[in-house]
Structure 1
Amino acid sequence: MSIKQLSETIINQIAAGEVIERPASAAKELIENAIDAGASRIEIATAGGGKSLLRVADNGGGMGPDDLALAIRRHCTSKISETLTDIRTLGFRGEALPSIGSVARLSITSRLPGSAEGAEVSVTGGKLSAVRPAATNAGTIVEVRDLFFATPARLKFLKTEKAEAGAITEVVKRMAIAFPHIRFVLSGADRSTLEFPATGDDRLARMAQVLGKEFRDNAIEIDAVREDVRLTGFAGIPTFNRGNSAHQYAFINGRPVQDKLILSAIRGAYAETVPQGRYPVAVLSIDIDPALVDVNVHPAKSDVRFRDPGLIRGLIVGAIREALAQNGDRAATTGADGMLRAFRPGYQPAYQRPAPAANWSRDASPYRPFETAPVSAGFGERPQASFSDFSMPAARTERPAAEAVAATATPEPARHYPLGAARAQLHENYIVAQTENGLVIVDQHAAHERLVYEELRKALRDRRLPSQVLLIPEIIDLPEEDCDRLMVHSQDLDRLGLAIERFGPGAVAVRETPAMLGEVDAPGLVRQLADEIAEWDTASGLSAKLEHVAATMACHGSVRSGRRLRPEEMNALLRQMEATPGSGQCNHGRPTYIELKLSDIERLFGRS
């Protein structure tokens, strides 16, 4: 079979298969071109989920007739010249427009600022038209109709119009977060208008537009530098989480990416703080020398490759954990919002209303509300109450269904304490504390579980963990390069109780394993660590296993639900929570307390 040169149309259609996977891919390429052109306003219109129509209009620098003629030809671009080591624009391959034109009906209308008239060119299924004069405003309008009409088989792989429209919305959101100084408007017959006004340098305001206003109240600022790589952005507190990873945004030198290493690092940073099946919310930007990152991994430019992936992962994990340790120990505002929605002032279903009783009196009621003394004017007074001060009377033989136990007859002052002073224990599990401007409800088991877990984690960090010596060392055959990688991390593994040494060129000997793990599959553990080091240049998997064991031990070793606590025990728990990093959520990621501001309570009763 003889070799022949493919036609330009076939070449462009092959390229389109990589660059333009769906309408959202075309939208991404066109929006990137508008941003590279210096636009401050970008308007996107769609119909049929982008399959029937996709129009992107901008007020950028525009193009003249000569530029238009080249723009629709493959590998023609104004963004790079001779090298790929210093890419500072979103686009650079020169493939998007000819690829779209090869599978759709494409028209481009543009005018340079100051020009008397604009110009227009079109491509239909790979067939180019001549450039002709056109009346238009300064900037560029790119219109794509009947996407994939020239390759009908591709249409079968597209999803519903609603799903495709949703994918375009996600593209616009990512671009909007990356470029807060640009106004984005998304409209069309298949959606209501979505507008993101420009916020200038206020990046958090733009994030609030995209992620919701509650993100502003539940986000922690990230700003860290390591070896000339800077990480900035905002990360949500652990109790502010979502059901999928769609609310995690990453940017490299302003370029939106969906990189596995970054997403893995975010997941690792929130390990043991976010529940299984829940995902943290984060917006992270990495500024790095373009020569140290390859953005030309795939034509879609959503994947990148770092020269030093371990540095990037370590920077992300360390920066987020440091920020959470300093500012992340608070309840998400969504918890209070949910509590407020649960209350319906003045309403009670008929089946829950008590039957009318004649001559009802407080003494005759099976419920006995407790009274709390006013907050003491003095600071630091110790409560004098004993267990008997808040236990139920001995004569009572039947415990009421909604029992509340008063914490103290002489309350500890609430001011100056972030979590306040204990006032009551409900259902022998929930501590009610009064703060200076509201109240806090604490899950005593979840809170104490976290405190015990943090003590165990501290022990893991501060000293070599106890190990169990194997009577006969376990010899594990591995590729020589895996053995080399393991030995580089052997000292770190030894601190965790895993003692290994080289046993010839292609094997390692395991002499000790962590005592906390009990009976362990040493070959499986070592091979897993070798794979992890090969991929991420880190051996954190063993540490994660040990922390999981510590979490299990903490769960079984903490104060149980159903136990009555003395006033001093409740207050001691609150003070320890205030001093312990990560105490805002338990080992399973659930919140340990919910805070309700006094203003929220007053709103429930219509007082504000």
Structure 2
Amino acid sequence: MPIRQLPEQLINQIAAGEVIERPASVVKELVENAIDAGATRIEVELDGGGVKLVRIRDDGGGIAPDELPLALTRHATSKIGSLEDLESVQSMGFRGEALPSIASVSQFRIISRRRDDAHASMIEADNGRLSDVRPAQHPPGTTVEMRELFFNVPARRKFLKTERTELSHIEDQLRAMALARPEVGLHLKHAGRDLLRLSRAESIAERVDALLGESFLEQSLSIEHHVAGLSLHGFVGLPTAARSSADRQYFFVNRRLVKDRVIAHAVKQAYADVLFHGRYPTFVLFLDLDPTAVDVNVHPAKAEVRFREQRMVHDFLFRSLHEALAQTRAGQVSTQANTSMLDRFGPAPVQSQLRVQDSLQGFAALYGERAPAALLTNAPGISADRRQFDSLFSAEPHSAPAAIPLPVGSAHDVSTPVAEPDVPPLGYALGQLHGVYLLAQNTHGLVLVDIHAAHERITYERMKSERACGTLPAQQLLVPIALTLSSRDVDAAEQHADELLQLGIEISRTGIDRLVIKRIPLALAEANVEALLRDVLAEYVEHEKSRKLEEFQNELLATMACHAAIRANRRLSIPELNAILRQMEATERSGQCNHGRPTWVQLSMQDLDRLFLRGR
């Protein structure tokens, strides 16, 4: 078959296959154009789930009449004009493919008017064929109308889902875009019915509250970090607010919603110690960095990005989220939210929002002068009263449950009136319930603690802290383990040999695709070191960093902590119960056990009054 030039219409339809996947893609591209035009209010009208009609009206700057035909020409754009512009693009759109792609697979119309124009102008496209530009009536701004998507590409139209499904994709897309642009009002209608009406918001928190509900903010941490030209801000959900699906995960890079494996990996690692299995964290996070440090021209849909300093971005995200979650200690109670405790499904404790300051220990060591020293502070350590803590192990359990008398007149006697400022966050112990739960009284009401889960987290964090303070004990192998790997994996092992050595693994390269393991940590003596090292090297190749060894060691420590923790039905004295409460208040991540289960619940006096119908 001879080589020939494809017709322009066919070229546009091929391009539409990459840019326009479904009606949600049309809405995304047209709303992004409205944002780039400086719109402060955008109205989206739909019919048939966006297949029959998508009409988007904005109050932006408008398009000049003589530029309307050019707007429907492939690779025509006002956003960039040179390679330098492309490498530092800040607008949402820039490829000049969306409008001609949409026009080639639908019945299309644009009506636009600039503020100084006497009247509006209109152009239409049917199956890619453009009409003449003619006058029209329209206020300043632009209306783009698309009808009968894929009417001329029946093979593509067959793959569209039901009206309800397509509409839900559009709603999800618009909610995400609205989160990134609180300064823009948004109105969504479908078949004449209002689905979403958002006024302009003063802050991201106000827009999050409007879209995701007040409960999202109540169960989130406010985070704001600025290091080495990277800025991360937004809200990250508490581990106890995790969901069964990943439907509340919004990550924006320079206010562009993206899905990126580097980001996903960093978030997953940050939550590794606190998330219950099968659950997904919630977050609305914004990463801002120099546009030249990120490539958004990866795919026509612009949902993927590539970072120039991939490892630095990964470490920054992981350390920021890791430190934020580490500072969530038990006892951080939000008084304004306590009354909703009994309305919750599940045992999630209500915790206050924290504004987490920069605490990125080790970031400067990795990135030198690029990380300003003024922003690098040490993470808060785990305070420990060892003598009091060790008494928990030495106390012998009673053979049968018995009433535990409160020491009259002692500092921890809750019957003695205590000035509110002097009451610790978790209060003072009242006793035990069936040897499983700790009951305590604080200024807000009743605190319930799962003793085993809380002590498990305390022990686990202490073990990790002790490991971090010294070198890991390792043993020299009498017979080194020989491995045959890909040359890329061996290159990664050689490149990161010093990091592996710090973790207790000594390796040596013996060939292009061969290496030997000479020394391993004692903690891995019974593990499959060969399989573990293969996983570590795979992460080094993909992410330039690996925490597999640390995660594996953490699993061993978690198992040890679980066995060492106080078992059910063990009777403890009041001082011992109070020692657990004080340790919880001082221990990182003490709101959850090592497996992600909650360790404590707060019941306010209002909650208790409602249980007993007091005041009714």
Fold equivalence (TM over 0.5): yes
Gaps of 5+ in 1: 344-381, 383-390
Distance 1:193 1:115 in 2: 33
* Correspondences of 1:174-213 after superposition (within 5 Å): 174-189=176-191, 192-200=194-202, 202-213=203-214
1:176-228 Cα offsets, whole Å, 9 max, x none, are 1111111111121286421222112x211111222211122222222223321
Structure 1 residues 27, 602: closer, same or farther in 2, change over 3 A?
same
Tell whether 2:240 aligns with 1:239.
yes
For 1:321, give the aligned amino acid: H
Distance 2:605 2:10 in 1: 68
1:380-409 Cα offsets, whole Å, 9 max, x none, are xx9xxxxxxxx9999xxxx8xxx9866666
1:257 is matched with which residue? 258
Worse overlay, 457-466 or 143-152? 457-466
Deviation at 1:515, TM superposition (A): 2.3
1:67 is matched with which residue? 67
1:445 is matched with which residue? 452
Tell whether 2:308 aligns with 1:307.
yes
For 1:339, give the aligned amino acid: L
2:355 is matched with which residue? none
* Correspondences of 1:101-500 after superposition (within 5 Å): 101-189=103-191, 192-200=194-202, 202-327=203-328, 329=330, 337=340, 339-340=342-343, 411-412=413-414, 413=418, 415-500=422-507
Worse overlay, 292-301 or 119-128? 119-128
CA contact (8 A) 1:406 1:425 kept: no
CA contact (8 A) 1:238 1:328 kept: no
Q: TM-score, normalised by structure 1?
A: 0.86
1:42 is matched with which residue? 42
Deviation at 1:512, TM superposition (A): 2.0
Distance 2:456 2:148 in 1: 58
Distance 2:189 2:36 in 1: 22
CA contact (8 A) 1:43 1:184 kept: yes
1:22 is matched with which residue? 22
Percentage of matched positions with identical amino acids: 43
Distance 2:250 2:329 in 1: 19
Deviation at 1:318, TM superposition (A): 0.4
CA contact (8 A) 2:341 2:602 kept: no
Structure 1 residues 341, 32: closer, same or farther in 2, change over 3 A?
closer
For 2:66, give the aligned amino acid: D
For 1:98, give the aligned amino acid: P
* Correspondences of 1:556-595 after superposition (within 5 Å): 556-595=563-602
Q: Which has the higher contact order (CA 8 A, sep 6+)?
A: 2
CA contact (8 A) 1:107 1:121 kept: yes
Structure whose CA Rg is larger: 1
Deviation at 1:533, TM superposition (A): 0.4
1:53 is matched with which residue? 53
CA contact (8 A) 2:331 2:425 kept: no
Distance 2:338 2:104 in 1: 51
For 1:297, give the aligned amino acid: V
Distance 1:137 1:407 in 2: 76
Deviation at 1:42, TM superposition (A): 0.8
Distance 1:392 1:328 in 2: 31
Distance 2:403 2:20 in 1: 63
Structure 1 residues 38, 329: closer, same or farther in 2, change over 3 A?
farther
Structure 1 residues 393, 96: closer, same or farther in 2, change over 3 A?
closer
Structure 1 residues 296, 569: closer, same or farther in 2, change over 3 A?
same
Q: TM-score, normalised by structure 2?
A: 0.85
* Correspondences of 1:86-101 after superposition (within 5 Å): 86-101=88-103
For 1:45, give the aligned amino acid: E
Let me know the Cα RMSD of the aligned residues: 2.5
Gaps of 5+ in 2: 347-387, 389-396
1:2 is matched with which residue? 2
Structure 1 residues 443, 575: closer, same or farther in 2, change over 3 A?
same
For 2:342, give the aligned amino acid: M
Distance 1:445 1:288 in 2: 44
Distance 1:328 1:417 in 2: 12
| 3-state SS in 2 of match to 1:523 | helix
Distance 1:601 1:67 in 2: 67
Distance 2:266 2:579 in 1: 35
Structure 1 residues 393, 295: closer, same or farther in 2, change over 3 A?
closer
Deviation at 1:338, TM superposition (A): 5.1
| 3-state SS in 2 of match to 1:198 | coil
CA contact (8 A) 2:114 2:140 kept: yes
Structure 1 residues 259, 191: closer, same or farther in 2, change over 3 A?
farther
Distance 1:495 1:336 in 2: 49
Deviation at 1:13, TM superposition (A): 0.5
